[in-house]
Amino acid sequence: MAGRSGAGIASLRQILGSPPAQEPRIGDRPRSVLTVVGGVACTVAAVLPSFLLGGLASLVRADLRFNEARLGLAVGCFYAASSLSAIPGGRIAERLGPRRSMAVGIALAVGSLGGIALFATTWGRLAAFMAVGGMSNGMIQPAAALALARGIRQERLGIAFGVKQSAVPVATLLAGLAVPIIGLTVGWRWAFGGAAVAAVGLLGMLPQDRTASNRERPRARGRGAKVDRGQLPGLARVALASGCGAVAANSMGAFYVESAVSSGERLALAGLLLSFGSICGIIMRLAMGWIADRTAVDPLRMVGLMLIGGTVGYLMLGHTAGTGLLVVGTAVAFAGGWGWPGLMQLAVVQDHMGAPAAASGIAHAGALTGGLIGPITFGWVVSTMGYRTAWSAASVVAMLAGCVLLWERRARQEGAPS
């Protein structure tokens, strides 16, 4: 089995055109661990404004007096700013390096979280500071992908991206815990304020810049590395599928607690169930990254199958009654419907090693566009037709995303030379 795994990794290197892996040098492993930990911590800070708002939505809405549709719009402002800044953020990361790009992103995250805690006294101010947080996300995500692509050995990228993409469910885990621990005790503003203070400390955890490989270096000068034009159509389809998947997943992140409360669950329990779902998502992302490093699994195909499986969870969230079935639906929705981003980023980076941040920025822009459309549309559907219809629509969009990826993989295989 070990021989087959080694042969598969060697074949993958030949396909990607990457140089053979060298034996690890002294200090390489600690540096790689710091790269992953720093990337994860910064990514948590980047996405935390969105998920804190989703977890604490009942308290924030009661204080600022706005409905579910405006909740979706506020979250949509976060993802709109993220989407608009993701592609420029990828190019900036290629030019400045991940460390400086992530420092700018952390500064924006601190401004967003601190601004909400201190100055968000109206819905308009809340939406404005959410947009600032979205700019942070657009800067940090491609920079973190570049840090991993340059700082982690090829055969360990799967688990590295699994860990990195676990930052999103870690953020939802923290948001869920913030409901009973902070929101229901000292108030929701303290949760945002504490997160801002913690984000300042991340400036000391930024991963060190690693020199680009010889193959990357010529293209990384001047105007920055760019994706080859011939690869853009396939990358665009992957971005489309990622966007459809994010429509469902980010709607769940924004409205899960509100939906559970509307079905009769207590607010504190709904927050804890959000944390439970996040743990399921973390386990799935890490497991799939580990599997991707040790088997010949096709990342795009696995993502497609996971999205299709996640539709069952979305349907259960809207069409079942009782805490027991809600727990099952939560596990399936978070593990399948939201456990795929690590594999998606792995596939994109492996296919575009010459410009990993630029390619990641394009794919991430698709996901962020879905994050923009999803909560806004979901909130409107909830306010007009109810949660059952909204969850049904989310499941349909997730199914579409899975089918697009399976079709894309099949098209690539049929078009590949024999």
pLDDT in tens, 362-372: 887 888 889 88
Q: Give the per-residue pLDDT at 164.
A: 81
In-domain check, residue 90: yes
Cβ contact 141:87 at 8 Å: no
Flag whether 1 is in a domain. Answer: no
Residue with tokens 């923009």: 372
Is 16 within a domain? Answer: no
Residue 208, pLDDT score: 72
Distance CA 17, CA 14 (A): 5
Is there a domain that residue 113 lies in?
yes
Looking at residue 145, its pLDDT comes to 82
Query: What is the per-residue pLDDT for 210?
Result: 61
Distance CA 107, CA 139 (A): 11
Question: Could you tell me if residue 18 is inside a domain?
Answer: no
Alpha helices in 202-298 (DSSP H): 232-262, 267-294
Cα 132 to Cα 42, 84, 355, 356, 373: the distances in Å are 15, 12, 26, 25, 18
Look at residue 214 in the predicted model and tell me its pLDDT. Answer: 36
Number of domains in the chain: 1
The pLDDT score that the predictor gives to residue 224 is 52
Q: Which residues of 248-264 are buried (b: 16+ CB within 10 A; e: fewer)?
A: bbbbbbbbbbbbbbebe
Q: Given this model, what pLDDT does residue 192 score?
A: 98
The amino acid at residue 37 is V
What range does the domain containing 287 cover? 32-201+224-415
Considering only CA atoms, which of 34, 22, 26, 39 is closest in space to residue 153? 22
Q: What is the pLDDT of residue 158?
A: 79
Cα-based angle 281, 285, 291 (whole degrees, multiple of 5)? 140
For 382-404, letters b (16+ CB in 10 Å) and e give beeeebbebbbbbbebbbbbbeb
Vertex 351: Cα angle to 349 and 355 (nearest 5): 60
How many Cβ atoms sit within 10 Å of the Cβ of residue 3? 7
> Measuring CA to CA, which residue among 219, 273, 239, 251 is closest to residue 372?
251
Q: What is the structure's pLDDT at 230? A: 67
Q: How far apart are CA 2 and CA 197, in angstroms?
A: 46
| pLDDT given at position 30 | 67
Residue 257 lies in a domain: yes
Find tokens 């396909």 and name the residue: 15
Stretches in the chain below the pLDDT threshold 70: 1-30, 209-228, 230, 357, 415-418
pLDDT in tens, 92-136: 988 888 999 999 999 999 999 999 999 999 999 999 999 999 999
Are 267 and 257 spatial neighbours (Cβ–Cβ below 8 Å)?
A: yes
Q: CATH number for the domain including 55?
A: 1.20.1250.20
Q: What is the pTM of this model?
A: 0.80
User: What's the CA angle centered on 120, arms 74 and 190, to 5 degrees?
Assistant: 105
Query: Considering the domain boundaries, does residue 12 fall inside one?
Result: no
* Coil/strand/helix, residue 78: helix
Residue 248 lies in a domain: yes
